[in-house]
Amino acid sequence: MTKYTPMMQQYLRIKAEVPDAFLFFRLGDFYEMFFDDALKASKELEITLTARGGNKEDKIPMCGVPYHSAAAYIEKLVDRGYKVALCEQTEDPKHAKGVVKREIVQMITPGTAVDAVNEKENHFLGSAVKLAGGRYSIAYLDLSTGESKASVVDSEELLLQEVSLIRAKELILTASVDEELIRKFKDRGITAISKVNSETLSFDESLLSLLEGSDVKQGISLLLHYTADTQKRSLDHLQKTEQYEVSSYLQIDPNSKRNLELTENNRSGSKKGSLVWLLDETVTAMGSRQLKSWIERPLINQIQINERLGLVESLKHYFFERESLRELLQNVYDLERLAGRVAFGSISPRDLVQLKKSLQQVPFIKEKLNEIPDKGLMKRSDSMDACADVAELLDASIDDQAPITIKDGNFIKDGYSEELDQYKDASRNGKKWIAELEQKERSLTGIKSLKIGYNRIFGYYIEVTKANLSSLNDDRYERRQTLANAERYITPELKEKETLILEAEEKSVELEHQIFQVIKEQVKNEIPRIQKLAKDISEIDVLQAFAYISEKRHYVKPVFSEQKTLNIKEGRHPVIEKVMDLNEYVPNSCKMDADRSMLLITGPNMSGKSTYMRQVALISVMAQMGCFVPAEYAELPIFDRIFTRIGAADDLVSGQSTFMVEMLEAKHALEHATENSLILFDEIGRGTSTYDGMSLAQAIIEYVHDSIQAKTLFSTHYHELVELSSKLKRLKNIHVAAAEQDGRVIFLHKVKEGPADKSYGIHVAELAELPASLISRANELLSLFEAEKETGAESRQQMTLFDLPEKPEPAENKVLKEIQKINVLEMTPMEAMNELYRLQKRAGKMLTKS
């Protein structure tokens, strides 16, 4: 250290406190970085790298960013997963003996950044502490809003699921955590991970007062310790930690959440095309965040669900009141994050104006809710605290045209402070007097170009061009400054008034700042009330959004079945329906009950099997959120978990193939599903050979049917599996219909009872415009394979899968049985023609062989 200057020694000592962060070291109007920080920051921020020091050997790499524009650079580093420590002067240079004292005043990390967060999303900092028996205490906190939650999960799998669900921007772990677990977090996109050595609590433990049991407190304790240690500023806006049980909500694992596209689409990862994109008709930023929370955690308590549905029903019915409510909510700003800024001390005069305007809307919101004859809405109105005293304080004190920063001044209203009014009056009248003096001096001297100006160095002055100097023959004028073309003077009268004006302005600015600090403290004391109001308004906003979208898109109120019946009549996929024209979408029904718990779905590719499965799941999710659903009628069980295996991609990072991913997702469902769960399996077994895949598919179907008995939709291209309906009493065949016309396939997108008769695979390839020669060859091969199959060479092998006799049944008997099963009265003319054509082809092949 001795070879460095005292200032650089100070830098190195402070840098040693934060080895894993960029140290922004304040020097004058710049934040400077040195050594490795400078080398790395110059590349990340694309700024010039220079050096400090004398000879070549002693030069220290250095770069810096201006203090006034540092926020953009800090945001860029934090977005890339880095931490930034802000080191400021904490001593007046005038009183310093040697190097000015400096300290780290704040650490900005991916999870604690609050200035550039997405207003419609939470920005969570998470934590996890391992407990005995493989359990984990978990917690997460949004520093910008102050909300925090904590729970205990029973396994590492649930831990990974919860962290993935909340999308923590940063995860805090104890120093002893297993490195393999860290790798798993990173595989799930949690790249900013911080280890904490000390678990000494240095925060207000009253934040834990609502938590029951020591285990659940460990995760939030670690989280609050880290927050207090890094922020080094007021955290008075932190709300009481809410304890929750994972099992209290409909559980949807990350894979299923992705497959169902609840919060983002699978193609680009954007919100467009997701369920949240469809339902987000909220008006406030708070409501948008609340909506996302409800989508990710639907309810399983029927009383709570029906309460929400009842409120939505009333809001849907009273159109004019709801529209007025929407207009009022448009004038409500983000109360949660405004409260956070008050606590941090970063609130601006303009922010307080936004807070005032928001609070002024609340009495009208309460009045509008009371106009709807619904006890639930009236109860919510009664419990809504308008914080009228806060609104009155801000209305009396802060000017509506207040600036963004307090340094601009002139934001305290006239009449709020008698002393401030006196200073303002002196300043205003003084300036008026200056203008009058200018006119007086022009008249006395006859110099029309004479003017009175001001600068910080000389104060007020009288400026006369050199061409007019001869007109000044009065001893009152004392020269102050000579310019190229003019002279500047003062008079005793002007000097006396200058002192009064400048003193009034200086004291006015100082007093205005003092008043603003007092107002901030008064508002700060009311943060819990403002946060409670924010929660009330956010929920009302989501409920009115549900009502708005339900009316706009013709949704119906679902009912829940005690007998666990699922009966959806003319259901629709909500997102695809929005993308398409409402009149073009083909609705489909779905019926499942105690005697019909598993549906085996067949039909060609592109016919809509996956869409049908997803729409059943999405309707269930929407219903358990408390929203109306896209159908003509919907009777539903309350599901505890939803599992989906729809589509898969190779997991190249972990070296897992499509088939392995498929099997792991199937395993997860089979291990955790209950009879109250919903399972969607799409094309299980297609990633391996035909017989392997078919065997696995059948074994999975039998296991779910016999051992789990969950409501299950299972789509397949293995048409041989349709025979299982004769063995498994609760399994029924359905298919998505298609028809041939002029040699081309037409997808009807209509789900019907019974199995599909063919897959139309080559027709789909033709629609995809594969080369004509390839399509022709495929048809030749298909005819060949079908002929071989009719000989029984292959069918004997496949029939063993179903424990059928090895000797094949005569082909003509099969045809006769098929004819017997046909119900001509329920078929359309086109379906009857297609069926006749198929049977004619089979009969022709039989005659050819004979």
Residues 6+ apart with CB under 8 A from 712: 597, 598, 599, 678, 679, 680, 681, 704, 705
Round to whole Å and give the CA distance between 169 and 144. Answer: 13
Q: Is 331 annotated as a binding residue?
A: no
609 a known binding residue? yes
Say whether 169 counts as a known binding-site residue: no
Sign (positive/negative) of CA torsion 166, 172, 177, 178?
positive
Sign of the Cα pseudo-torsion (277, 282, 285, 289, in order):
negative
| Contact predicate 237/530, CB 8 Å | no
446 marked ligand binding residue = no
Question: H helices then E strands: how many in the chain?
Answer: 27, 27
CA distances (Å), origin 18, targets 32, 109, 222, 636? 15, 12, 19, 55
Q: Which two tokens stand for residue 163?
A: 């962290």
DSSP-derived letter for residue 791 is T
Query: How big is the CA angle at 369 (ends 329 and 293), to the nearest 5 degrees?
Result: 55
Burial call 697-706: b when 16+ CB within 10 Å, e when fewer: bbebbeebbe
Structure tokens at 474: 């009065």
What is d(CA 389, CA 215) in angstroms, rounded to the nearest whole number?
Answer: 40
Residue 571, annotated as binding a ligand: no
610 is an annotated ligand-binding site residue? yes
Residues in Cβ contact with 742 at an 8 Å cutoff, skipping those fewer than 6 apart = none
CB 593 within 8 A of CB 565: yes
In angstroms, the CA 410 to CA 318 distance is 45
φ, ψ (nearest 5 deg) of residue 200: -65, 125
CA gap 87, 26 in Å, rounded: 6
Q: Report the candidate in 437, 441, 447, 347 with the shortest Cα–Cα distance to residue 398.
A: 347
Cα distances (Å, whole numbers) of residue 486 to 343, 449, 471, 479, 481: 53, 11, 13, 11, 9
For residue 5, what are the CA distances in angstroms to 8, 24, 98, 251? 5, 18, 11, 59
Q: How far is CA 187 from CA 167, 173, 180, 256, in A?
A: 13, 16, 11, 17
C-alpha Rg value of the chain to the nearest Å: 37
**Pairing state of beta strands 678-682 and 641-645?**
parallel
CA 75 to chain centroid, in Å, comes to 18
Instruction: Identify the residue whose tokens are 């922020």.
Output: 231
Judge whether 604 is annotated as a binding position.
yes
What is the full DSSP assignment across 669-728?
HHHH--TT-EEEEESTTTTS-HHHHHHHHHHHHHHIIIII--EEEEE-S-GGGGGGGGT-
Separation CA 294–CA 308 (nearest Å): 11
CA distance between the termini of the chain: 101
- Give residue 321's identity as a one-letter amino acid code: E
**CA distances from residue 465 to 332, 451, 468, 482 in whole angstroms, order as listed:** 56, 10, 6, 10
How far, in Å, are 43, 106, 170 from residue 191 at the CA level?
Answer: 20, 22, 7
Query: Whats the size of the chain, residue-wise?
Result: 850
Q: List the structure tokens of 664.
A: 């792991």
Annotated binding site for ATP: 603-610
Annotated binding site: 603-610
